[in-house]
Structure 1
Amino acid sequence: MFELLFIFITTSTLFYYYLSYRRSRKRLYELAAQIPGPFDWPLIGSAYLGITVGPTKMCDFLVQMLHTLSSPLRAWIGPLLFVFFDKPEHLEVILNSQSCVSKSYVHRFFRFEYGLLHCAPELWRVLRKRLNPSFSSTTIKNFVPTFNVQADKLVQYFEAFVDREAIDLLPKVSSYTLSAALLNLFGVNVRVNDTEYIEQFAENAEKMWLLMFDRIYKPWYYPDFAYKLTPSYRKEKKRIHKLQQLSIEVCTARESMRLKPKQYQSDKTVPMPEILIERLERITFETNEINEDIMLQNVHTFLFASNDTTSNVIATTLLMMAMYPDVQDRVHKEVTHSVSNDVITIDDLPSLQYLEMVIKESLRLVPVASIIGRICERELQVDNWTIPVGTEVFIPILKLHRDKSIWGQHSERFDPDNFLPERCAKRHPYAYLPFGGGIRNCIGMRYAWMSMKIALAKLIRMYEFSTELRLEDIKLIPSLVLLVANRHMMRIKRRKLR
């Protein structure tokens, strides 16, 4: 008798709290019901759609599904409401709205919650305002000599792989991007010449982001207590520790170099702009706007953001040119014609217009991020739909960049002419979002463009790249950075210098 009474009371209590929970979210459910979407099962919602899809098929699955369904698209994953938008006019509203500045709930899976990439709006506004000058045109033009030196080292490093079997160039390129970041953004030469360490660092980071991303489409791992019981969590902790070790080395090296407040005043007529680490130090140790933990998390963040993203774009652009020798030849001709000596200057970069088109097209087909997410913190009107508070708003950039209504019937083909000025003028500015857009766009766009153009120009001038891979064979793996499952496998041949 007592057992039956206990079961009745427990069931009644749970049912009461469930009804209370539903009533508290009544507005959310009413507005969500007006947005089209697939059938939702109790508890798991729409998660069943991708539950049997492996990592290498997930991108194709999502893109094809979104191609056949309307936008916006509603999907429930457990108690979370996801709404997908891919119309440029809608994206402009969302990405410029103060209601959608917070990053998605799932961003917390990538840790470093106080880093600029993932932090809450209040901290983000402080960091963005203070760190913006470190990525201004005035500041990054001082990085050109370092980019040249490190790119020359990369060219020399590639010499060891000339006329050999195809190799994966991505970890090799990381020796350039990470070394340049350590020198330009952090002002230290820690590990700069240790290519083996840098390649291992890049490989570790890639595996770490894959582990973290895998959690997104396993909603039963969303609660931290459940995830911490899994082997994935234990592997993740080890990989995070390896990533953090380099950040600690950077901060230790900076300890002895740190400028005292009175030394910030330079006797020079035109003082050198403060680099990233100097501004982080200033707002940590002088103004106390952030603490040392937040500073360290931002070192983690910028080590990743300046390396993983840029190295992937450089390697992918080389792969595209290897697939399309005529495009590669045209880039080579432009580089040899536009750059008169071994040093690429700031004035040379605007003349590399076709190279820029090739990079942009590579970013269109293989964007750095396949999808970005925001939390709607206040009701937002987007065309005919009202997005309720608490909605996870997602923008599938990979699908947007291949949308036939925007890019034409051959949107899956590689065509740098997509970025001819006259074609760009006809497209909505939010039809192409390689670095995000709106209020919370990428702080390091100028830095990335300079880094990529200098490295690619030097590599193409010296080497010819070839591959057996074809664009239709490429399989993509969603992660914090979109990855090529086939790897960036290429052969290298030395060009005959004229």
Structure 2
Amino acid sequence: MLLYLILVTVFLAFVWLCESLRRKNAFAKNLPMAQPLKSFLGVDYSIMDMSDEERFEIMNDCFARFDRLFVFYTGPLLVLGVSHPDLVQRLLSHPDCLEKPYFYDFVKFDQGIFSAKYKLWKGQRKALNPTFNLRILHSFMPIFNECSKKLVQKLKTLPNGATVNMFRYTSHCALEMVCGTTLGSDVLEREGKDEFLHSLEEVFAIISRRMLSVHLYSDLIYMMTPAYWREIQARKSLRDFAMKILQEKKEAALSRKMDGTDLDSDPETEEFKKPQIFIDQLLTISENSRSFTDEEIFCNVLVIMVAGNDTSGLAVAYACLFLAMFPHIQERVYAEIVEHFPNEEMEINADSLRPLEYTERVLKETLRHCPVAANIARENIRDIELDGVTIPAGTKFTVSFWALHRRADMWGPEVHAFDPDHFLPERCRDRNPNAYMPFSAGARSCIGGRYAMLSTKVMLIHILKNFKISTKLRFEDMRYKFGITLKMSTDQLVQLEKR
């Protein structure tokens, strides 16, 4: 009898769940669907068994086939796909679409701006915006230069003409940059830094795999996997290392305050000629305005380190690969660099970067083809209207910047070509301004976009001044894989010849 009651209860719960989903999803009945529900509860097991490269191609095919809103499913959950520039802009700038879906919770740095819930994020973002103003970013230039020079010295130890995986080197350089600007230039000299850096990579690799594995969304199932225990250990290593630095920084700030030598936060003071380390800025914010807890500081430091590392490291690696594929573009960039930086002694600062117009266009075209975050997700906290459809609160959206940047109606018939002239001023004037979003858009866009462009330019200049780059890879053969950030299915192999 008890078993019978249990079975009836489970059956009724299942019927109730199906009916609830049907009613909730009724608004989308007239929208095109990317694929039918092929199996129990809408889980398409053929997709679950696919490689990350195959998933990426299927996702892009869906966005290419549908011009505006369309429906696809992640397990039983309905998701709306968006890649039309006007719809993307409206969605990302809508005040009721600033929440991130539940799978961002897997990051578990939920006290930081990347995955924080809307109410917490709003206060943090307002307080953090000044820490990324231009004067502070310009103060990082010595760190960018120092790390780029170290990268060049490493590459010079390789045999002339050696084949290298460029991302391996640019990623390490970007990580040194972001460690220096976030925790201080001495962080990489500390005991335990190798374990810290390894743990940082490990945690986000595990998070990425979990986000792409629907069967691991359940905490109960995930806790029975080896990845869960590796993640726990790596997170402990991160916390121990970062919290020790935070405590030292707090003690130093207190000591300066007691000695009457507290840092002046006036933007016109001499202090801004020195690097304004991010963790120091957070402690200053805690004193002067919104108070950040130790946990919030820890989460924001870690998230910014990972984001800065992937963004700059990938952007430079892709730029080097594209320049290797198109030697005439590489030589034009090199000529522009040599014209403005004719010798090694010349200082690379923010002002000296401004005349590099062609180099800027090359980097923008690189990010058009390879936006670091090819897709992002949002969730609306209230009912909204988008493209004439009333969409109920709690609906998940996926925005494809990959598809947005490949719309022929925005970029013309040569949309798939690598052409820096796509960003000539006259072409930009005639194009929908929402057709290009390398760092997302709206209030919850990437806070470090300008940081990424500055660090990327400095690194690329140092590389091209010292090496001529070639590759055996062909542009038309490039393949990518599905992930939190856009990475190739193969290594970014190039050959480096000393100039």
> Hey, what's the Cα distance between the residues in 2 that align with 1:188 and 1:452?
18
- Residues 293 and 64 of structure 1, relative CA distance in 2, 3 Å threshold: same
1:21 Cα deviation from its structure 2 partner: 4.5
Deviations for 1:403-431, whole angstroms, at most 9, x for unmatched residues?
Answer: 23322333332111111112222222221
Counterpart of 2:57? 60
Identify which of 306, 319, 322 aligns with 1:320: 322
1:117 Cα deviation from its structure 2 partner: 1.1
Deviations for 1:384-403, whole angstroms, at most 9, x for unmatched residues?
Answer: 22222111111011122222
1:148 Cα deviation from its structure 2 partner: 2.0
1:243 Cα deviation from its structure 2 partner: 4.6
1:380 Cα deviation from its structure 2 partner: 1.1
* 1:10 is the counterpart of 2:12: no
- Residues 355 and 382 of structure 1, relative CA distance in 2, 3 Å threshold: same
1:271 Cα deviation from its structure 2 partner: 5.2
> Hey, what's the Cα distance between the residues in 2 that align with 1:255 and 1:313?
34
Counterpart of 2:340? 338
Q: What letter matches 1:68 in structure 2?
A: R
RMSD over equivalenced CA pairs, Å = 2.8
1:18 Cα deviation from its structure 2 partner: 4.1
1:15 Cα deviation from its structure 2 partner: 3.9
Counterpart of 2:101? 104
1:149 Cα deviation from its structure 2 partner: 2.3
Kept in 2: contact 1:45–1:75 (CA 8 A): no
Counterpart of 1:372? 376
Kept in 1: contact 2:101–2:379 (CA 8 A): yes
Identify which of 484, 490, 494 aligns with 1:486: 490
Counterpart of 2:406? 402
Deviations for 1:88-134, whole angstroms, at most 9, x for unmatched residues?
Answer: 01011100011110112221223312221111111111221111111
* Paired residue secondary structure (2:315): helix
Counterpart of 2:28? 32
1:36 Cα deviation from its structure 2 partner: 2.1
Counterpart of 2:429? 425
Kept in 2: contact 1:361–1:415 (CA 8 A): yes
Kept in 1: contact 2:310–2:372 (CA 8 A): no
1:208 Cα deviation from its structure 2 partner: 4.3
Counterpart of 1:226? 221
Kept in 2: contact 1:309–1:368 (CA 8 A): yes
> Hey, what's the Cα distance between the residues in 2 that align with 1:201 and 1:407?
43
Identify which of 91, 103, 116 aligns with 1:94: 91
Kept in 1: contact 2:471–2:493 (CA 8 A): yes
Deviations for 1:279-327, whole angstroms, at most 9, x for unmatched residues?
Answer: 3223557767332122211121111122122111111111111111111
Deviates further, 422-431 or 271-280 = 271-280
Q: Percent identity?
A: 28
Counterpart of 1:270? 269
> Hey, what's the Cα distance between the residues in 2 that align with 1:392 and 1:49?
22
Deviations for 1:332-381, whole angstroms, at most 9, x for unmatched residues?
Answer: 00111123453112211111111111111111111111100011111111
> Hey, what's the Cα distance between the residues in 2 that align with 1:46 and 1:408?
37
> Hey, what's the Cα distance between the residues in 2 that align with 1:233 and 1:277?
29
* Paired residue secondary structure (1:149): helix
> Hey, what's the Cα distance between the residues in 1 that align with 2:153 and 2:185?
22
Deviations for 1:162-214, whole angstroms, at most 9, x for unmatched residues?
Answer: 414301122222343222223333334111599x966x876765554343223
Counterpart of 1:215? 210
Q: What letter matches 1:147 in structure 2?
A: F
- Residues 404 and 250 of structure 1, relative CA distance in 2, 3 Å threshold: farther
Counterpart of 2:446? 442
1:145-224 alignment runs, 5 A limit: 145-191=142-188, 205-206=200-201, 208-224=203-219
> Hey, what's the Cα distance between the residues in 2 that align with 1:382 and 1:327?
41
Kept in 2: contact 1:95–1:439 (CA 8 A): yes
- Residues 473 and 235 of structure 1, relative CA distance in 2, 3 Å threshold: farther
If the length of structure 2 is used for normalisation, what is the TM-score? 0.89
> Hey, what's the Cα distance between the residues in 1 that align with 2:281 and 2:348?
28
Q: What letter matches 2:359 in structure 1?
A: L
Kept in 1: contact 2:52–2:483 (CA 8 A): no
Deviates further, 74-83 or 327-336 = 74-83
* Paired residue secondary structure (1:412): coil
Kept in 2: contact 1:74–1:82 (CA 8 A): yes
Kept in 2: contact 1:188–1:253 (CA 8 A): no
* 1:121 is the counterpart of 2:118: yes
* 1:295 is the counterpart of 2:294: no
Kept in 2: contact 1:99–1:380 (CA 8 A): yes
Deviates further, 15-24 or 79-88 = 15-24
- Residues 305 and 93 of structure 1, relative CA distance in 2, 3 Å threshold: same
Q: What letter matches 2:145 in structure 1?
A: N
Q: What letter matches 1:55 in structure 2?
A: D
User: Which runs of 5 or more structure 2 residues have no equivalent in the other structure?
Assistant: none
Counterpart of 1:476? 480
Counterpart of 1:251? 246
1:458 Cα deviation from its structure 2 partner: 1.8
> Hey, what's the Cα distance between the residues in 2 that align with 1:476 and 1:197?
31
- Residues 290 and 75 of structure 1, relative CA distance in 2, 3 Å threshold: same
Kept in 1: contact 2:180–2:277 (CA 8 A): no
Counterpart of 2:393? 389
Deviations for 1:229-281, whole angstroms, at most 9, x for unmatched residues?
Answer: 12332343344445545534543553553345564364997253554212322
Identify which of 446, 454, 460 aligns with 2:458: 454
1:81 Cα deviation from its structure 2 partner: 2.0
1:85 Cα deviation from its structure 2 partner: 0.6
Count of matched residue positions in the alignment of Structure 1 and Structure 2: 489
Kept in 1: contact 2:368–2:436 (CA 8 A): yes
Counterpart of 1:75? 72
- Residues 22 and 174 of structure 1, relative CA distance in 2, 3 Å threshold: closer
Kept in 2: contact 1:476–1:485 (CA 8 A): yes
Q: What letter matches 2:231 in structure 1?
A: E
- Residues 208 and 270 of structure 1, relative CA distance in 2, 3 Å threshold: closer
> Hey, what's the Cα distance between the residues in 2 that align with 1:59 and 1:240?
29
* Paired residue secondary structure (1:100): coil
Deviations for 1:40-70, whole angstroms, at most 9, x for unmatched residues?
Answer: 2465425346223201222222112321245
> Hey, what's the Cα distance between the residues in 2 that align with 1:193 and 1:424?
47
Counterpart of 1:347? 351
Q: What letter matches 1:272 in structure 2?
A: E
> Hey, what's the Cα distance between the residues in 2 that align with 1:149 and 1:92?
38
- Residues 323 and 237 of structure 1, relative CA distance in 2, 3 Å threshold: farther
Deviates further, 28-37 or 261-270 = 261-270
- Residues 484 and 252 of structure 1, relative CA distance in 2, 3 Å threshold: farther
If the length of structure 1 is used for normalisation, what is the TM-score? 0.89
Kept in 2: contact 1:171–1:203 (CA 8 A): no
Kept in 1: contact 2:39–2:45 (CA 8 A): no
Deviates further, 52-61 or 210-219 = 210-219
Q: What letter matches 1:176 in structure 2?
A: C
